[in-house]
Amino acid sequence: MKLLDIVVKDAIIPDLVATERDAAIADIIDALVNAGALSPKLRDEFIKAVIKREKRGSTGFGHGVAVPHVKHPAISKMAITVGISHTGVEFNALDKQPVYAIFLLLSPEDQPEEHLDAMEAVFGSLSQETFRRFLRQAKTVDEIMTLLQEADAKAPVR
């Protein structure tokens, strides 16, 4: 699965202002609502669901990145967006360090395989140190889109 196939460009935030987890998640969900990728009616429910998943086990897997996500019946198509913080977000990451790149993923509830495919596409890119470093330095939506495109080009064909 390619990141560009599922990314919601209009919801990318190149300069997250929030510095703590719950506020950052709310900002990214709001961006998805504003981009038309999520119904405003579902905003609060999704914020709650993403935070609930974080409490069960942080998706701040270390190296300054987090991959919060939610599976929900109202989602018909995989969607992902990116929030970049230049100051760092306190995300309760497993390595206790702040995160600078947050990939938020929305998955249909009835497609567990697709969900894991998408997660693997994200993980594959995020495990590259150069990708993480460039992401953290990105200042515009276009720069982030270029990095995602390059990551897709490097990804092994699945």
If the CB atoms of residues 3 and 65 are measured against another protein, the closer one turns out to be 65
- Shortest gap between Cβ of 36 and another protein (angstroms)? 28
Enclosing H/E stretch for 76: none
If the CB atoms of residues 10 and 109 are measured against another protein, the closer one turns out to be 109
Considering only the C-alpha atoms of the chain, give the largest distance between any 2 of them, rounded to a whole number of Å. Answer: 38
Token readout for 109 is 């509830």
- Shortest gap between Cβ of 83 and another protein (angstroms)? 17
Query: What residues line the site for another protein (CB under 8 A)?
Result: 53, 55-59, 61-63, 65, 67, 94-95, 116, 119-120, 123, 126-129
Q: Is 69 a catalytic residue?
A: yes
- The dihedral through the CA atoms of 138, 140, 144, 146 has a sign that is negative
User: Choosing from 63, 69, 72, 115, which is the catalytic residue?
Assistant: 69
If the CB atoms of residues 66 and 138 are measured against another protein, the closer one turns out to be 66
Residue 3 near residue 148, CB atoms below 8 Å: yes
- Shortest gap between Cβ of 130 and another protein (angstroms)? 11
CB-based contacts of 54: which residues, under 8 Å, 6+ apart? Answer: 21, 25, 68, 91, 92
Token readout for 10 is 């209009």
Active site residues: 69
